[in-house]
Amino acid sequence: MSEEKNNEQAKRKVDYDFAAHERPLIEAWQEKGYFKRTPGFGEHADDTYTIVIPPPNITGALHMGHALNDTIQDTCIRRARMQGYRTRWILGTDHAGIATQTKVDKKLADEGISRLEIGREAFVEACYDWYREYGATIVNQIKGMGCSCDYSDEHFTLEPAYVKAVRQVFVDWYHNDLIYRGKRIVNWCPHCTTAIADDEAEYVDEAGHLWYLRYPLVEPVDGMDYIVVATTRPETMLGDTGVAVSPKDASKKALVGKTVKLPIVDREIPIFSDFHVDPEFGTGFVKVTPAHDPNDYAMGERNGLARINIFDEHAVVVEGYGEFSGMTRDEAREAVVARFEELGLLDHVEEHGHSVMTCYRCHTKLEPWLSEQWFVAVDGLKDASSRVVEDGSVTFYPERWKQVYLSWMENLKDWCISRQLWWGHRIPMFYCDECGWEDASVEDVEACPVCGVHVRQDEDVLDTWFSSQLWPFATMGWPEAGMDAPEIKLAYPTQVLSTARDIMGLWVARMVMASTYFCKEIPFHDVIIHPTVMAADGKPMSKSRGNGVDPLRLMEDYGADGMRFGLLMQVTGAQDLKFNEAKLESSRNFANKIRNAARFVMMNLDGYEPGAPDPVTPADKWIFSRLAGLVARIDGMFERYEFGEITRELYAFFWNEFCDWYIEFSKSRLAGDAADRAICQRNLVFVLDTALRLLHPIMPFVTEEIYQDLPIDKADAPYLIIASWPEASELARYVDADAERAITMVTEAVSGIRSTRSRYGISPKTELSVVIKADAHDVDLLEAQRQLVIDMANLSGLTIASDAEKPAESSIALAAGLEVYIVLSGLVDFAAERARLEKERAKLSGDAAKLEKKLSNPGFLAKAAPEIIEKDRAKCAELTDMLARIDGQLAEIG
């Protein structure tokens, strides 16, 4: 790490040792049992609030997606706990079939061992060793974030009870004809040698070619000796069993029913018509390879074509194809094209960009491959899963994801659930090779119930998403006690699921399918689809790009509170979140602001006597009214899961209203009359305490630390984590529109006066004369606060009138609907100030002109890096803004 980076990190940590203060609080909360199912209180004493964590992979470490999602979930569960719900956040990890097998394969390879050498049983044990060594890593990192999961009852998708649940689902669906085995096209990864779900395939744009190949007709038709097909995969022609044309293409009608002689393999194949063919693609003749393309497979089914698999599981050409046998896909492509050219059958080649599917784990190109697999017949599950979303039983936030879910469900095809792996839930199908008996069983079967000989179990394992679809109810005691399991009776369905959009189909939809089938109940009421965290330039974060951000480093630099608040502050209604680390720095500063404000209050509590708050002054009434409105707004935002808005509201209230103004208003009172001082102390403590409660779900550490020092009755809530959430209905009595208007006019008028001082370099100690123009109602409200304005703005004179006119040689500030005239006579040399501003304007104007010329140069835009262009555009916008402000000042001084 560079010295500059070291110095920067050291600078960041100077103010506060986050880890030293955060770890003891985590331990204290856990020791007190606050992370388990908490007892309820108040109006929600008998209500439960439960969240199941999206189980992270045992191969994983905390990344920015986890950090955002876990912050959202913890914010929800902490607020519910404070509202009096009986809360529990269920924790667990996923065995992550392909990911873990890949990791362990690599580990063994590094040791010079192959899983094929040690066998299945030893390899599975090696995977369990991996789980025991690395499974707790991400859980401990989540704990470090302050996440209040129930760590005393952690689950794992391969724990014995969970295995039984998965087997029960397979067996029930199999016996009810919802699971079947068939030979169909699947997405096959030649590297991982397993099937991959459609939803797990990643599409990559590729600059490819379109090869035009001549297929000779067996008998000439109207003088034609051959037809020309266009293909992006010439190597698959070895498995062609037909050529299709569109029934709408009249020019090819005479060829339907004729045959062509397939070059190289010398196979006669028919020409037929099918509605799937696009007559505008290529030549309108489409080669059909039913074993290596899902659309071709469907056409082959409709037209009775043979299905010939030309590749093995490694995408190598099988025996029977002469010199091509043993070639990889790429080698076969080159050789086939060369042979066509040699035979004079390569018509021509065109450039052609297209998307190719790749494995989400190893990024190998997937091969559409005909193989025998297990499938879920989803048509028997889709209706109920769609209906509960259509009728609002399951609600998506933001709402637009509802239609995405329904569209996905409508287009869902039968789900391939078998994987050719060793690590995972082995398919509970048992076979007798002696008499042909086979059946699914929850328990292992050793002997055939028909003939008594030893049986064998299916070699494949289930898709990881098949097991994780049971997560909400399999972690609560199903199927051992069914829907009578105590936790299910208490807490099912759960309240909230928070997840990313990329697994809405893979996981969310399947949980709904499984739950509505087996539990006759939805798994959760609300689904939060949080934005995907992108790099600052909008590109996906990844190791290969080197643009990932480590949440552990962020917590080290900014504290868990700073990271959590800073992340949520960046959440909007957009699908993506461009990560801005400066927001975390701002949030860390906010945490320090909270500490400093609390320190000020604590330092001014000499002689403090507890008592009920009492808003007696206009400033008291203003802050109490603002607080009441804040609580009501925050409650509404929580109902809509608008986390970014929540953070912005909290930030504005605490920093701008409480710290910048109310504490400032309080200083003179704390040094004055004893009775008023006592009232002011109680009001400060009340507002601080209420604000800490509102902040706690997002910033648990700093708020808990301060709460421990607050001089309030903690008999019912020794820790803030179980203190009651502020009640908007109780605070509603403090709402005072006139007080809010009056003090808002004071704060904005004073701010405008201070801004003018700063702009013209007038010392804060210099008294000013000010005239304020307002309407009649506001004149009365503001007149009552005359002394407050004078004191806060250090004025020698103040006139407030509805018919006020702008004095000569004065500046104007517009504030809260007021016109504030600041008299500058004798304080500003207008001629010198005008000369200075004009000189500064000339320089800025020249700089802006240079940048505008640069940005209008096509050569610069074509060659410069995007980040450089963006930086220059931002600078140009900044210069334009500065010029506008200078023009305003020039107009002001005349």
Q: What is the pLDDT of residue 894?
A: 66
Give how far the C-alpha of residue 394 lies from the chain's centroid of Cα atoms, to the nearest Å. Answer: 19
What is the average pLDDT value for the chain, to the nearest integer? 92
Q: How far apart are CA 255 and CA 271, in angstroms?
A: 7
Residue 619 has pLDDT above 90, yes or no: yes
Q: Which two tokens stand for residue 693?
A: 């409660």
pLDDT band at 2 (very low <50, low <70, confident <90, very high): very low
pLDDT band at 6 (very low <50, low <70, confident <90, very high): very low
Q: What is the pLDDT of residue 785?
A: 94
Indicate the range of 189-203, 280-294, 558-572, 757-771 predicted with least confidence.
189-203
Greatest mean pLDDT range, 8-17, 108-117, 148-157, 362-371: 148-157
- Find the angle CA(19)-CA(24)-CA(25) to the nearest 5 degrees: 100
Q: Rounded to 10 degrees, what is the CA torsion of 707, 708, 714, 717?
A: 70
Q: Which residue has the higher pLDDT, 245 or 816?
A: 245
3-state secondary structure 752-791: HHHHHHHHHCCCCCCCEEEEEECCHHHHHHHHCCHHHHHH
Indicate the range of 23-32, 101-110, 236-245 predicted with least confidence.
101-110
Q: Strand, helix or coil at 571?
A: coil
182-205 core/surface letters (b: 16 or more CB in 10 A; e: else): eebbbbbbbebebbbbbbbbeeee
pLDDT band at 12 (very low <50, low <70, confident <90, very high): very low
By 3-state DSSP, what share of the chain in percent is helix, strand and coil, each rounded to 5? 50, 20, 30
Nearest to residue 822, comparing CAs of 890, 893, 742? 893
pLDDT in tens, 91-111: 999 999 888 998 899 899 999
Q: What is the pLDDT of residue 888?
A: 76
pLDDT band at 8 (very low <50, low <70, confident <90, very high): very low
pLDDT band at 837 (very low <50, low <70, confident <90, very high): confident
C-alpha to C-alpha distances, 399 to 39, 474, 527, 635, nearest whole angstrom: 33, 28, 10, 19
Over residues 568-595, the mean pLDDT reads 92
Residue 380 has pLDDT above 70, yes or no: yes
pLDDT in tens, 530-552: 999 988 888 888 666 677 788 99
Residue 776 has pLDDT above 90, yes or no: yes
Q: With pLDDT > 70 as the criterion, what percentage of the chain qualifies?
A: 97
pLDDT band at 31 (very low <50, low <70, confident <90, very high): very high
Read out DSSP for 178-227?
A: SEEEEEEEEEEETTTTEEE-GGG-EEEEEEEEEEEEEEEEEEEETTEEEE
Residue 610 has pLDDT above 90, yes or no: yes
Nearest to residue 428, comparing CAs of 480, 466, 465? 466
Q: What is the pLDDT of residue 401?
A: 96
Residue 171 has pLDDT above 70, yes or no: yes
* R_g over Cα of the chain: 35
pLDDT in tens, 641-686: 999 999 999 999 999 999 999 999 999 999 989 999 999 999 999 9
Instruction: Yes or no: say if 782 and 772 are a contact pair by the CB < 8 Å rule.
Output: yes
Over residues 107-122, the mean pLDDT reads 92
Torsion 826-828-829-831 (CA) sign: negative
521 backbone dihedrals φ, ψ, rounded to 5°: -155, 150
Q: Which residues are annotated as a binding site?
A: 543
pLDDT in tens, 777-801: 999 999 999 999 999 999 999 999 9
Q: What DSSP designation does 617 have?
A: S
**DSSP H helical ranges for 544-617:** 551-569, 581-603
Nearest to residue 42, comparing CAs of 90, 75, 83? 83
Question: Is the bond leading into 493 cis (omega within 30 degrees of zero)?
Answer: yes
Contacts with 11 (C-beta within 8 Å, 6 or more apart), sequence order: none
341 backbone dihedrals φ, ψ, rounded to 5°: -65, -40
Over residues 712-734, the mean pLDDT reads 96
Which residue type does 788 have?
A: L
Instruction: Yes or no: say if 590 and 651 are a contact pair by the CB < 8 Å rule.
Output: yes
Instruction: Yes or no: say if 37 and 88 are a contact pair by the CB < 8 Å rule.
Output: yes
126 half-sphere exposure, CB direction, 13 A CA radius: 23
Instruction: Yes or no: say if 355 and 203 are a contact pair by the CB < 8 Å rule.
Output: yes
Instruction: Yes or no: say if 92 and 468 are a contact pair by the CB < 8 Å rule.
Output: no
Q: Which two tokens stand for residue 612?
A: 């009920």
Residue 16 has pLDDT above 60, yes or no: no
Q: What is the pLDDT of residue 249?
A: 92
Nearest to residue 327, comparing CAs of 237, 262, 235? 235
Torsion 854-860-866-867 (CA) sign: negative
Q: Which residues are annotated as a binding site for ATP?
A: 543
pLDDT in tens, 495-528: 999 999 989 999 999 999 999 999 999 999 999 9
Q: What DSSP designation does 255 have?
A: G
Q: How far apart are CA 577 and CA 567, in angstroms?
A: 9
All structural domains of the chain, each given as residue ranges with its CATH number in brackets, are 11-166+468-547 (3.40.50.620), 177-184+374-462 (2.170.220), 202-358 (3.90.740.10), 740-828 (3.30.2320), 831-893 (1.10.287)
**DSSP H helical ranges for 62-96:** 64-82
Contacts with 415 (C-beta within 8 Å, 6 or more apart), sequence order: 197, 375, 376, 378, 463
Q: How far apart are CA 167 and CA 165, in angstroms?
A: 5
Indicate the range of 404-413, 534-543, 634-643 predicted with least confidence.
534-543
Which residue type does 888 have?
A: G
pTM of the model: 0.86
Q: Which residue has the higher pLDDT, 45 or 858?
A: 45
Q: What is the pLDDT of residue 545?
A: 67
